[in-house]
Structure 1
Amino acid sequence: MQSRHSVVALLVLLLGTCALGAKLEQVHIAFGDTPSAMTVMAASDAMPAAATVLYGTSATALNMNQPASDVRFFTAGNELGLQYHLVFKLQKLVPDTLYFYQVRTDTNATAVFHFVAQNDNLDHPANFLVYGDFGLPKGGFTLPRLVAETKTGKFDAAIHVGDFAYDMFDHNGTRGDNFMNQVQQYAAYLPLMTAVGNHETAFNFSHYRNRFAMPGNGAASDNMYFSWDMGRAHFIAYSSEVFFTNGPVQDQYNFLKQDLIAANANRAERPWIIAYGHQPFYCSNLDHDDCTTSRSVVRAGLEDLFFEYGVDLVIEAHEHSYERLWPVYNETVTQHDYINPRAPVHIIAGVAGCNEGETTCINPILGSKGPWSAFRTAFLGAYGYGRLEITNSTHLHWEQVLDITRTDLDQMVIVQENHGPYKPL
């Protein structure tokens, strides 16, 4: 099999784009409904008469094709943006195999990109880039780091924990187009798995619902809640925004409960359960957000469920700061280490670089720490992202990388030998 590390040398030959007609851009991929599937998306400014993905294991022989399974058209908050979003579902991929692909319509074609199909080896140490609250230009500190990390071939996916572009609908949708063209630099090569944030709520989440295509096991959730597997971990994406937008709170709760029941039945194979959603349960910030209060509606809606079914790690964002918590439940810290935690561990990773007001977007945490706060950023310029490794059935490793130094700001290892529902405190 051709090594994923040899791909960079080939790219010099493949960067040309066949510009023949309507625009065709914003290419990105995501894990599909099964481990042997991959979803490809692209955007156009016109309805194509035909659209397909050509793909294969050789860059010079794209001998398989997959027609579009869906063309999404939307104009709400997107009057000047590209309004046709194409979805292609590649199936029956060979695990851990390098594939090259190109999106084609009847009038245009993209450059040739590549990805590695999902590794089905449970003992493969799975690695992820993790971040939230990412817009440009302030996210310009993080963007080149994500691109460079992707080129190493080490990572299996990127996880964006809500708040995109600031905002997708700005300038009648052209900001969303510009943002997706920038993240194409890594998201066309590395599956981009998402969660919805509060900056996606406009026009009934139209940009988020139409620009992404996550696994469909959340039924009609439109990317709002769903789950997927990788290595020894089961991942669950949920919406914190249902609690603030008259959203389907009960529908999501029912999905999460059934998904967690199934995940617990499968813990011999995938012992780690990792949930990720935008707004935190707890935080040390002083901005009067939901997580700063003892009456957090997100925490009231989900904390008991996550404790009952033994969620190991909860990754959040929203606060433009980084904070790592001790294992905590019901505002009670169970211990001051990560050896066999007796409650979920939370990480707030909202420092990728937002773009609110076209200005600096880091909020130092200046107030007193909550008793559950183990580490937090208290300075400007702490832009960065996380590296998450599911090492094996018992060990999980987290690093928070500081953009300006390209070094670790923080590290954590969770050792859990007793995966499963937590015992009552």
Structure 2
Amino acid sequence: MLSVGVFLFLSYSTAPVVLGVPPIKIQPEQVHLSYPGVYGSMMVTWTTFDEADSMVEYGLLGGKLFEMMAKGSSTIFVDGGSEKRKLFIHRVTLSALRPGFTYVYHCGSGAGWSDIFYFTALNESSDWSPRFALFGDMGNENPQSLARLQKETQVGMYDVILHIGDFAYDMDEDNARIGDEFMRQVESIAAYVPYMTCPGNHENSYNFSNYRYRFSMPGDTEGLWYSWNVGPAHLISFSTEVYFYTDYGLDLIVKQYEWLKKDLEESNKPENRKSRPWIITMGHRPMYCSNNDHDDCTKFESLMLLLSPHITKLPQPLLNANFARVDLELWAHEHTYERLWPVYGFMVYNGSREEPYVNPKAPVHIITGSAGCREKHDGFIPDPRDWSAFRNSDYGYTRMQVFNSTHLYLEQVSDDQNGKVIDSMWLVKEQHGVVAWV
């Protein structure tokens, strides 16, 4: 028999009675940040599985909680798998942020809110020393480096994360549920600092759609290539994959080449090189490596090293031409770590025998693809070429700090050895641009 209270509630309530059904389809998840390339801004991106408003409430740490609010919009992403799962990708840009100040935020709508996160707005002058964690090839199975990166990010060790291709293994699998799980895993990093990306070969399914929809990078190329400034560095992210997945359009090769040429010419203008002297590139597949897996970079005529001016227009001659003068090139793809001597055209151009990385005459290459995934490690050939300086197959990741206009520091962390630094180097460039290569 119903009690009087229950009877009256059921009799007079106009709302439907719903017992124990959480709003799982409109609850924000997979929250991550990126820098949209506009001064004093930060992009917040998240996912829901049904339509909802896109809002971020935020405020300065120590001030009134959520005293500011910004609205954005959502994009419907229909995965290419058999279920044609529908995801709503929400994007909100926070503007007029105070550089160097910490903000507390959550995202969502009246239908549901995320957890509370925080971030520090980037100091966008060229006079500070940004700190990076960089790696590629991290999956949601065997993500060996993830826990250490989570902790180090949350204690404030990094200003930016660079994920140099290959996510989840693979984001499209199980009708994109693997992508969802990966984005949930990295939320504990990516919701606190800008998580900047480039595409890898494992993102190729359905024309890289999971990558293009899930991440929010600067520019209007869906994150395939873009550039941005941070501290004394100009960072360029480009797609090595346009040269391998040509079924998606040869025009992407030409478009990227023309964009890259223009970007390098602009960043090498004397006034721009003065304020952002370091030019750093990142792309997934390396030009050089000493692995034994018969992949492209293990071949003498590597596709990433060749130039066909009529068809491929590959980046090696472009990146090292007189107008380019790139200082540092970051790669992944090989599931190992390798540091090269300054190299161009298989030739080593050290600054000197005693100080090879002081005023070198060619770009320095770093391969950091050992963050951890289901494909485990790659092996090395027994005897590398002269341009290979150090290599290691431990699971791990790389830290980088651009200290000032002349000094840049890199170190490799081994997760297998409980966070031990197993390699380090200072790259010193007293001059940048054309004069540095004479």
1-side partners of 2:331 and 2:224: how far apart? 15
CA contact (8 A) 2:338 2:391 kept: yes
The answer to whether the aligner puts 1:278 opposite 2:290 as a matched pair is no
Q: Which residue of 1 aligns with 2:309?
A: none
| 1:363-412 deviation line (CA, Å, top 9, x unaligned) | 231432011100011x5xx0000000101100110000001321111101
The answer to whether the aligner puts 1:197 opposite 2:212 as a matched pair is no
Q: Find the residue that maps to 1:299 and give its secondary structure.
A: coil
Shift of 1:145: 0.8
After superposition, the CA RMSD in angstroms is 1.7
1-side partners of 2:238 and 2:147: how far apart? 28
CA contact (8 A) 1:80 1:173 kept: no
Q: Which residue of 2 aligns with 1:328?
A: 343
Which residue, 298, 321, 332 being the options, matches 1:317?
332
CA contact (8 A) 1:74 1:210 kept: no
| 1:252-291 deviation line (CA, Å, top 9, x unaligned) | 0111111111111101001000000000000101111111
The answer to whether the aligner puts 1:302 opposite 2:315 as a matched pair is yes
2-side partners of 1:407 and 1:81: how far apart? 42
- Compute the TM-score of the two structures, normalised by the length of structure 1: 0.89
1-side partners of 2:419 and 2:110: how far apart? 43
| 1:119-157 deviation line (CA, Å, top 9, x unaligned) | 123221111000000012211x21111111112213110
Q: Find the residue that maps to 1:354 and give its secondary structure.
A: coil
Q: Which residue of 2 aligns with 1:420?
A: 433
Q: Find the residue that maps to 2:212 and give its secondary structure.
A: helix
2-side partners of 1:79 and 1:45: how far apart? 14
Which residues of 2 match residues 207-356 of structure 1 at below 5 A?
A: 207-216=210-219, 219=220, 221-246=221-246, 247=249, 248-265=252-269, 266-300=272-306, 301-308=314-321, 309-335=324-350, 337-356=356-375
Which residue, 42, 51, 71 being the options, matches 2:46?
42
**Identical-pair percentage:** 42
2-side partners of 1:110 and 1:78: how far apart? 29
CA contact (8 A) 2:136 2:369 kept: yes
Paired residue type of 1:68 = G
Q: Find the residue that maps to 1:298 and give its secondary structure.
A: coil
1-side partners of 2:116 and 2:344: how far apart? 48
CA contact (8 A) 1:399 1:409 kept: yes
Contiguous gaps of at least 5 residues in structure 2: 1-21, 307-313
Which residue, 190, 205, 219 being the options, matches 1:187?
190
2-side partners of 1:61 and 1:275: how far apart? 38
| 1:174-206 deviation line (CA, Å, top 9, x unaligned) | 111111001001110011000100000001101
The answer to whether the aligner puts 1:109 opposite 2:113 as a matched pair is yes
1-side partners of 2:82 and 2:233: how far apart? 37
Select between 225-234 and 301-310 the one with higher mean Cα deviation. 301-310
Shift of 1:327: 0.6
CA contact (8 A) 1:314 1:344 kept: yes
2-side partners of 1:245 and 1:104: how far apart? 36
Shift of 1:47: 1.2
Contiguous gaps of at least 5 residues in structure 1: 1-18
CA contact (8 A) 2:54 2:73 kept: no
Larger Cα-atom Rg: 2
Q: Which residue of 2 aligns with 1:160?
A: 163
Shift of 1:29: 0.3
Paired residue type of 2:229 = D
| 1:24-66 deviation line (CA, Å, top 9, x unaligned) | 2000000013131101001001011x22111111475211111
Shift of 1:296: 1.4
| 1:333-361 deviation line (CA, Å, top 9, x unaligned) | 112510101011000000001223xxxx1
Q: Which residue of 2 aligns with 1:66?
A: 70
Paired residue type of 1:275 = T
Shift of 1:235: 0.2
2-side partners of 1:257 and 1:146: how far apart? 34
CA contact (8 A) 1:80 1:174 kept: no
Q: Find the residue that maps to 2:273 and give its secondary structure.
A: coil
Q: Find the residue that maps to 1:83 and give its secondary structure.
A: strand
Q: Find the residue that maps to 1:252 and give its secondary structure.
A: helix
Shift of 1:78: 8.1
Q: Which residue of 1 aligns with 2:9?
A: none
Paired residue type of 2:399 = R
CA contact (8 A) 1:43 1:82 kept: no
CA contact (8 A) 1:82 1:177 kept: no
Q: Find the residue that maps to 2:178 and give its secondary structure.
A: helix
Q: Find the residue that maps to 1:36 and give its secondary structure.
A: coil
1-side partners of 2:256 and 2:76: how far apart? 24
The answer to whether the aligner puts 1:389 opposite 2:389 as a matched pair is no
Paired residue type of 1:34 = V
1-side partners of 2:82 and 2:238: how far apart? 25
Shift of 1:303: 1.0
2-side partners of 1:78 and 1:223: how far apart? 25
Q: Which residue of 2 aligns with 1:402?
A: 414
1-side partners of 2:198 and 2:76: how far apart? 19
